[in-house]
Each structure stands twice: as structure tokens, then as C-alpha cells.
Amino acid sequence: MTIDRETALKAIERMCDRQSIRNFSDRPIPDEDLQKVLDAATAAASAGNLQPVSVIVERDHERGKRLGELCTKQPFIGKASANLIFLLDWHKLSVYAACRNAPFNCNDSWMHFVTGMEDVMCIAQAAETAAWLLGIGSCYIGTAMHSGSEIAEMYNIPQRAYPMLVLALGYPADIPAKRRKLEKESIFFEGSYPDLSDEQICEIYDRKYEGITLS
């Protein structure tokens, strides 16, 4: 595998600057670029390569507005150039198993639920990263699960498939101030989990939330 290190480092630098975008311009995403995003997502890692994921691509603004209402009233979803609705989908594999006279119980297994959710996040993150590298902003919406039955009816989603999250995509109308994250040393621990005191943990979060007040 040949890697252009300079190009790779520039891509990583771009990834380090990523942030959620909730204010989109009216500029549409070219179909060629959206397909590149979907190509990157298709190549995402998958547990056992089962790929129990389906993605509905929503580009209609009126339906996007309805989707935003269902996702706990978030109007910016309706302004996105495209919304990707990620489904944890055991429907297709269950049909395939039945047609091939094979047993199937993935939808009843806690472990398969967890690894299926990991697959959803892998494909969604691949899409989010590819979009950002192309200059396309995005925002994850996890509240799709709150209105899963309504979204399922809206998009003709079958049994054994469920909407887990939405990724709103569009060109940024503006770039907000970068939100403070936890320091790298507070997330990555070498070898084992450190024996952190309550005071040390509070200091970690005090540095992150300094100057920010929440009700």
C-alpha cells in the first residue's frame, strides 16, 4: 500500500479541525461529491463483514423539514442539502437467510445489536469524514430513535430495521467557533486506566467547561 505522507498529514490536519455544522447555505451538494461520500461509507469496517446497515438518502427539503420535526424539532435538518438516515437493518439478512434455508437470530441477539450499532457508527463516521474532507459540513442527530416508528412509516422501513441516527449534510453558511474538547491526555491512557482521584477528574472537566455555564 503506497501512501503519500504529505497528503495524509494534510487530511489528518483537516480532520482535527472538524466541527458540527448546523447552519447550511443554499448551495447544493453535487451528485458526484455525494456519491464519493457514499463510496467511502460503503468501504467502512463491519463486524464479520455482515454490514447490517441501510442508509436512506433524503434530498427533498419538505421531507427534510418533516424529518427535522420528528428529530425533536431541529429545523436546520430541513435546510441541509442532504440527510443520511442510518438504519440498523437485519431485514435484508433475515430474508437472505430464509431464502437459503439458513438459521437466523441476529435480531434477537444482544451481541449482534451491539456490533450492529458499531457498524452503524463506522459507516456514519466514514461518511462524515469524507464529507468534511470535501468541504461539506455535517451534524449528527441521535434523536431519530425517539420517533423511530414515525420515521419508519414515512420511509417505508420494514420490520427488523430501525432508524438509529441522521447525518445532515450541507455546505456551511458560516463556521462557528470551535468547541472545546477534552484534552487528549484525558481520553487516551497508555497500558491501563489510571487511578484518577475525584479532584483530578473534576479538574479535567473544569478545564473543558471553563467559562461555560449551564442551567
The whole-angstrom separation of Cα 52 and Cα 160 is 10
Has residue 177 got a pLDDT over 90? no
Tell me the one-letter amino acid at 131.
Answer: A
Prediction pTM value? 0.94
Residue 116 near residue 22, CB atoms below 8 Å: no
- Return d(Cα 92, Cα 79) in angstroms, integer: 31
DSSP of 107-175: GG-HHHHHHHHHHHHHHHHHHHHHHHHTT-EEEEEGGGGGGHHHHHHHTTPPTTEEEEEEEEEE-BSS-
- Give 81-132 pLDDT, tens digit per residue: 999 999 999 999 999 999 999 999 998 999 999 999 999 999 999 999 999 9
Express each pLDDT in 2-36 by its tens digit.
889 999 999 999 999 999 999 999 999 999 999 99
Are 120 and 88 within 8 A, CB to CB? Answer: yes
Bridge partners of residue 102, in order along the sequence: none
